[in-house]
Amino acid sequence: MKELSGKLILALSGGIDSMVLADKLLKAHADFVVAHCNFHLRGEESDGDERFVREYADNNGLTLYVKHFDTTGYAKEHKLSIEMAARELRYAWFEELRQQLGYDYIAVAHHADDQLETFFINLLRGAGIKGLKGMQPVNGHVIRPLLDISREEIHQYALENGLTWREDHTNAETQFLRNKIRHELLPVIDGISKEGRTSILKSIRHLASENALYRELLQEKLFQIVKQDGETQQYQYDNFPLSTLHSPLLFEWLRDYGFNTDQVQFIYEALSGQLGKSFFSPTHRVTIERDGLELTPIYNNNNISIELSYQTIDKDDRFVIDQSLKVAQLDYDKLTFPLQLRPWQTGDRFHPLGMKGSKLLSDFFVDQKMTTRQKEECQVLTTADGQIVWVVGRRIDDRFKVSENTKTIFLVRLS
């Protein structure tokens, strides 16, 4: 175990792994407190683990923090396995405690055999390089000082140093995937090769270093392809011609926005000809546009906030047409008040400035090559009797334009 510096929170379950780590930290005179999670999954055994940890902390003068969880209820509410629910609960609490105490790291007792088991769990679930690279000795504020030490070495250390620990009877039950790997798969590997475990751990380290390089190159490529415009991101084909490489690139771009591998595959397959098609995650939407993909947060267009300012001025010889899309210059005498601002609706028509006759607003959007996000944001300013006078920020209605006969100008400005 490498020398540790900084203030630590040790995750102490009472099992042999965490008890060995606690002993090593004590002998290294590390600055640490202990934290214990009672998940209430094994009845009296869970409470026995807590009593054991409390006694150990008292005997060694260690500050102890204990947290009780309704793990089963959390798993049902969030539709998680018990194992995943416990993982989420404990790491969230550890980080909350770390910030509260102002400590540097959370020390957990994962070891080399845990690394092997995690590798095979992720392999069986179809993980990519990110899932197969294994756990890291340092991951943010989480450190794993025992990651290079085997379960056998940990057991030998505990015996040689007279340590006591709690046994979890569920570790022997093979209905759990991790335990199947531990008790059934890894012994088969041992029978095939004495160096099997060592070789797999070596491969995991290679994958970790290759993953780091891959991530760096990936960010460079995505920086070339993806452009940010406020909350909108655009994945631009012009910067990277369509190819099979889009599938992994799309996944790496979209995974942080709640899209899974199946959705990304559907998106990839739709790239060649389903213009306007949208795909949704719980928080975002991806839409296939003419020049690429557009990623936007999901929101209600009725809640879009637009501020307009109004001014009435007399027309004189100094009048000049304002070309800005943020300004509408209207003939005051042709308007019926009060004017109303609303989201556009299917079936809306107006007379675009410079055109004869009316046009569906949806067709105007197509002419303007507006994206789905721009369409959703579009608001219209109407007269009291419902006639559109301005597609805000786009075009005024020809019927309400300033002409030679206009006496008073009603000026509307988009803030």
- pLDDT at position 1 over 70: no
Instruction: Give yes or no for a contact between 12 and 66, defined as CB atoms under 8 angstroms apart.
Output: no
Measured at the CA of 143, the angle between CA 141 and CA 145, to 5 degrees, comes to 165
pLDDT in tens, 167-216: 988 777 777 889 999 999 999 999 999 999 999 999 999 999 999 998 89
Hey, what are 80's tokens? 């998680």
The DSSP code sequence of 244-263 is TTHHHHHHHHHGGGT--HHH
What DSSP designation does 327 have? E
At residue 9 the predicted structure's pLDDT band, cuts being 50, 70 and 90, is very high
pLDDT digits (tens, 9 = 90+) for 205-260: 999 999 999 889 988 888 888 998 888 898 887 655 556 667 788 888 998 898 88
Is 11's pLDDT higher than 90? yes
Provide mean pLDDT across the span 272-279.
80
Contacts of residue 388, defined as CB under 8 A and 6 or more positions apart, other chains included, come to 348, 349, 350, 361, 380, 381, 382, 397
Q: What's the whole-number mean pLDDT along residues 15-23?
A: 97
What mean pLDDT do residues 326-335 have? 95
Looking only at the bridges linking them, the beta strands covering 64-68 and 31-38 are: parallel
The encoded tokens of residue 400 equal 């309400």
Written as six digits, the tokens of 125 are 């679930």
In order of their start, the domains of the chain are 7-207 (3.40.50.620), 230-297 (no CATH), 306-414 (3.50.40.10)
Which tokens hold the place of 308? Answer: 């307009």
